Amino acid sequence: MAAAVVLLGVVAMHGHLGAGLLLGFLTVASLLLHEGGHMVAAGMLGVPVREFGLCRKGSYVRRAPGRMPLDDAAIALSGPTVNALLAATLWNVPGVGHWLAIYNLILMLSNLAPLPGSDGRRALVALSRHNAGVRVMAVNRKRD
């Protein structure tokens, strides 16, 4: 949310209030589409979504855990994938479209960083759990 306000302010300061308002609205739409990516992936994998919304910190989806760690990784990576697709689609659109493409790239990259609460951290943890499970299965097979 803060990023939307900053972008709105930057554009508005340059005398383009209409473009700033449009960019602010489209920025919020990008956040919601990002979360929509998580919801679609969860739905495809049969994982129930309990809540979806916006708050002071941004947008969010609350859901049940996946059946397998790879489900959680796929769901975590689906949001940044939506941002990558939006950025690619909007990159050559002049004006607000190009700014929105840049914003979506920043949103994608910041979400992929393995920081607490990020999609990148969730995917990394899920992949680690999956790899640990694969190693345990391999050890058990060697014992048999």
- Residue 65 or 143, more confident: 65
CA–CA distance, 127 with 104 (Å, rounded to integer) = 25
The widest CA-to-CA distance across the chain, in whole angstroms, is 73
Cα separation, 38 vs 41, in Å, equals: 5
pTM of the model: 0.77
Q: Note the pLDDT of residue 130.
A: 82
**Highest-confidence segment of 23-27, 50-54, 81-85, 119-123:** 81-85
The whole-number pLDDT of residue 136 equals 45
Lowest-pLDDT range, 60-69, 98-107, 125-134? 125-134
Question: pLDDT tier at 138 (50, 70, 90 boundaries)?
Answer: very low
**Among 11, 15, 14, 40, residue whose Cα is nearest residue 26:** 11
Residues 112, 99: Cα–Cα separation, whole Å: 20
Is the pLDDT at 42 greater than 90? The verdict is yes
Tell me what the mean pLDDT of segment 51-57 comes to: 77
Alpha-carbon distance 80 to 135, whole Å? 28
What sign results for the dihedral spanned by CA atoms 113, 118, 124, 125?
Answer: positive
The phi, psi pair for 54, rounded to 5°, reads: -120, 145
pLDDT of residue 139 exceeding 50, the answer is: no
Provide the Cα torsion 28, 74, 110, 54; round to 10°: 30
Residue 64 has pLDDT above 60, yes or no: yes
Read off the tokens for 10: 């930057």
Eight-state DSSP code of residue 92 = T
